[in-house]
Amino acid sequence: MIQFILKRLAVAIPTLLVLIVVSFFLMKMAPGNPFAGEKTVPQSVLDNIYARYGLDKPEWQQLAEYIYNVVFRFDFGPSFQYRDRTVNDIIAQGFPVTFTYGAWAFVAASVIGIALGVVAAVRQNSWADYLSVGFSIGAQVVPNFVMAPILVLIFTLWLRWLPGGGWNGGHWSNVVLPVIALATSYFANIARITRSSMLEVLGSNYIRTARAKGLPGWKVIFGHALRPALLPVVSYLGPVFVGMVTGSVVIDLYFSTGGIGQAFVNSALNRDYSTILGITILLGALTITANLVVDVLYAWIDPKIEL
Amino acid sequence: MLADNRIKTVTSVAAAPADVPAKGRSLWRDAGRRFMANKAAMTSLIVLIGVVLFTIIGPFFAKWSIEKVDWSVVGNVLTAGAPSFETGHYFGTDEVGRDLYSRVIQGTQISLLVGLVGSAIAVVVGTIYGAVAGYFGGRLDSAMMRLVDIIYSIPYMFILILLLIVFGRSFIMLFVGIGLISWLGMSRVVRGQTLTLKNREFVEAAIATGSKPRDVIFRHIVPNLLGIVAIYATLLVPEMILLESFISFLGLGVQEPNTSLGALISEGAQTMQYGTYWQLAFPLVFFITILFTFFFVGDGLRDALDPKDR
């Protein structure tokens, strides 16, 4: 087990380093000067500004210090755009929002998706089955940036039930639409994966044996069939997490929830390089960690995988 | 003379029986028949061809260009900018009075182009990369695949956005960015398939007759990969279109006055609350149609070509 985790870490850590180095040098290659304003600034003032942000040192040293600060002190440095704020401030402001609706969406997509998938498989060719199949086809062509406007159209403009944007300190009515918009396509995919793997498990010999020895139906399903049927779902959770993180950019932008995605796009449009760099690295580290956790979880659940 | 004739007859006799089964059933002919029998896939293919033809022929009927502002509708888009044949705005106008018909056509063209270019890069790079890694195996294989693993687990969306910001938003940068990641999945699929192919008799026979590795890969392995590559490439097109639309939705895609379906959907979604639903509806219909048809065509190809699922 430990060897397996070490092996995975041997991929994850270089990946993270590559991510930091690539993003760092991309930022360095960016044209223009983050401090170029409308007024021409005397060279001595510029030198002072550069010294303040550590930009007067050689690039390899800047990189080394940046990595050191990020890894050991969790410090992403000052924002180039907002002089009185650090990148950490911006992240600390946006992250809780993104985490709130992201976690709800993750839980909702997994629970409802698995439930619907199991029902669809157990009652094959019933309404639940058709619903899950229909959903999964639909979800493939309706990405969250299409889902969001449609939801707002229905629930905000026509029915007037829910607000079409804003965060309002995380009031439930502001959370519902972002969660639905973010969760729908993953929920449908989870239902489809659960359904097909459940069907496969239900057709296997040991399930027939369990039924033949007279176990009640629910016991067969929850005691015997569910665990092996969930294996493919677990391996899909990594991509779901990545999707939630990137999807949050759309959700923040469309619903003005003020999460980390909004900070990312704003800083991208404002050329706030240090903030883009910080958010890219943070979200990259999160997705890499999530993939690592899913890999380990999968190996732990599935006895067939040799560690 | 006589000897020549005899040889000719002999070869023609020998060739004849070999021709007959080739005419009857080949893998591709079989696949073609299965594909034609698949109603969903055939309908999708026809609709898709229709959309492509529309983007080619459509511009000839346009009365407005993509950037010309119709000043008669400005300020009164809700009534004057609605879809109508009289004004020449068949799909209405956008919020600033530009013709949506022309813009939807251009958006569709760009979305299709992005999908095809991304897919083409995946086919060329991914096939060669995967086939080389799979064929040579050993250390080269694990090094090459480790590289793919690493690139794969980088959140490419952010890198792509980064690229577009740093090097400016242009078509070329978009294609480069999409090309950088589109081949990864393909190389994995191809490698897996190559691993099973390289132990088959015909490959061993080719090696035994002294073919060079390059010839074995391109003459014997790659042709046998075409089926799976075709399936995967078709399914990759909608993925690339989604990716580009996502970036355009964020306002980081191609620059005005050029547009793409993602950008049009984004604009339409913002103005929806004023009642100008056509600004969302037309690009959305084209977007969903393209994605749907590509998925069904890809699915149909898989059913037709993949021997595993039969």
Q: Give A101-161 as a DSSP string.
A: HHHHHHHHHHHHHHHHHHHHHHTTTSHHHHHHHHHHHHHHH--HHHHHHHHIIIIIIIS--
Residue B144's identity, in one-letter code, is M
B120 touches chain A (CB under 8 A): no
pLDDT digits (tens, 9 = 90+) for B249-283: 877 777 777 888 888 888 888 787 777 788 888 88
**Nearest-CA distance from A270 to chain B in Å?**
10
Residue B36 has pLDDT above 70, yes or no: yes
Average pLDDT estimate for A146-172: 79
Predicted confidence at residue A181, as pLDDT, reads 87
Residues of B in contact with A287 (CB under 8 A): 153, 155
Residue B115 has pLDDT above 60, yes or no: yes
Residue matched to tokens 């870490």: A9
Asked if B149 and A11 come within 8 Å (Cβ–Cβ), the reply is yes
B contact residues 150-169, partner A, Cβ 8 Å cutoff: 150, 153-155, 157-159, 161-163, 165-168
Quick one: tokens of A297? 């979880």
Is the model's pLDDT at A282 over the cut of 60? yes
pLDDT tens digits for range B58-96: 888 877 777 777 777 777 767 777 777 777 777 877 777
Per-residue pLDDT band for B53 (boundaries 50, 70, 90) equals very high
Mean pLDDT of B291-299: 85
Asked whether the beta carbons of residue A143 and residue B245 sit closer than 8 angstroms, the reply is yes
Which chain A residues are Cβ-neighbours of B269 within 8 angstroms?
145, 148-149, 152, 254
Q: Is residue B155 part of a domain?
A: yes
The sign one gets for the Cα dihedral B14, B15, B18, B23 is negative
Does the pLDDT of residue B6 top 60, yes or no? no
pLDDT at B23 exceeding the cut of 60:
no
CA distance A31 to chain B (A): 7
Q: Which amino acid is at B222?
A: V
Residues counted in chain A:
307
A21 touches chain B (CB under 8 A): no
Q: How many CB pairs under 8 A join A and B?
A: 110
**In chain B, beta strands by DSSP E:** none
* Closest among A241, A243, A277, A249 to A265, alpha carbons compared: A249
Q: Between the ranges A212-216, B126-130, B194-198, where is the mean pLDDT highest?
A: B126-130
pLDDT at residue B226 is higher than 70: yes
A176 pLDDT more than 80? yes
Which parts of B75-155 fold into alpha helices (H)?
77-80, 100-121, 127-136, 138-153
d(CA A121, CA A117): 6
Interface probe with A: pick from B142, B236, B250, B278, most Cβ of A within 10 Å: B250
Q: Quick one: pLDDT at residue B295?
A: 84
CB-count exposure of residue B230 (10 Å: 0-12, 13-18, 19+): middle
> Per-residue pLDDT averaged across B31-52, rounded?
86
Q: Is residue B5 part of a domain?
A: no
Residues of A in contact with B153 (CB under 8 A): 11-12, 15, 287-288, 291
Interface contact B162-A23, CB threshold 8 A: yes
Does the distance separating the beta carbons of A22 and B249 come in below 8 Å?
A: no
- Which of A49-53, B207-211, B278-282 is the least confident region? A49-53
Calpha distance B135→B197 (Å, rounded): 9
Measured between its terminal Cα atoms, the distance across chain A in Å is: 5
- What are B45's two structure tokens? 């293919």
- Rounded to whole angstroms, the maximal C-alpha distance in chain B is 91
Residue A71 is predicted with a pLDDT of 79
Residue-level pLDDT at B5: 47
Output the pLDDT for position A35.
Answer: 64
Give tens-digit pLDDT for A194-232.
888 888 888 888 888 888 888 887 888 888 888 888 888
Answer yes or no: is B150 within a domain: yes
Lowest mean pLDDT, pick from A97-106, A113-122, B252-261: B252-261
Category of B239 on φ-ψ map: left (φ > 0), alpha (ψ -120 to 50) or beta: alpha
What pLDDT score was predicted for residue A306?
Answer: 58
Choose from A40-54, A161-175, B20-34, B234-248 the range with maximum mean pLDDT: B234-248
Q: Across the interface, which of B163, B250, B269 has its CB nearest the CB of A26?
A: B163
Alpha-carbon span B267 to B277, nearest angstrom? 11
C-alpha distances out from residue B47 to A236, B31, B33, B34, Å: 32, 21, 19, 19
pLDDT at residue number B11: 44
Residue B18 lies in a domain: no
In-domain check, residue B171: yes
As a whole number of angstroms, the distance between CA A264 and CA A288 comes to 19
Q: What is the ipTM of this complex?
A: 0.74
Q: Are B98 and B69 in contact (CB under 8 A)?
A: yes
pLDDT at A304 over 80: no
Residue B29 lies in a domain: no
Closest residue, chain B, to A165 (C-alpha) = B270
Residue B17 has a pLDDT of: 45
Read off the pTM: 0.78
Report the CATH number at residue B282.
1.10.3720.10
Residues in chain A closer than 8 A to B279 (CB atoms):
none
Structural domain count of chain B: 1
Nearest beta carbon to residue B250 from set A15, A245, A253: A253
- Round to whole Å and give the CA distance between A176 and A163: 9
Scan residues 271-290 of B and list those with Cβ closer than 8 Å to A. Answer: 272-273, 280, 284, 287-288
Residue B173 lies in a domain: yes
B148, B153, B249: which to substitute to probe chain A, counting the most A Cβ within 10 Å? B153
Asked which of A58-62, B86-90, B242-246, B287-291 is least confident by mean pLDDT, the reply is B86-90
Does the N-terminal peptide bond of residue B257 adopt cis geometry, omega within 30 degrees of 0? yes
User: How much is the average pLDDT of A117-141?
Assistant: 80
- Asked if residue B2 is part of any domain, the answer here is no
Query: What was the pLDDT predicted at A6?
Result: 84
Cα separation of B234 and A28, whole Å? 37
Q: Which residues of chain A neighbour B273 with C-beta distances below 8 Å?
A: 157, 164
Q: Nearest Cβ partner of B154 from A19, A157, A164?
A: A19
End-to-end CA gap in chain B: 53
What is the Cα–Cα distance from A242 to A265, expressed in whole angstroms?
17
How far apart, in whole angstroms, are the C-alpha atoms of residue B162 and residue A268? 8
Q: What is the pLDDT of residue B2?
A: 45
Boundaries of domain holding B214? 50-62+88-309
Question: At B10, is the pLDDT very low, low, confident or very high (cuts 50, 70, 90)?
Answer: very low
Q: Residue B15 has what pLDDT? A: 43
**With bands split at pLDDT 50, 70 and 90, how would you rate the model's confidence at A51?**
confident
Q: Cα(B142)–Cα(A254) distance, rounded to whole angstroms?
A: 42
pLDDT score of B49: 92
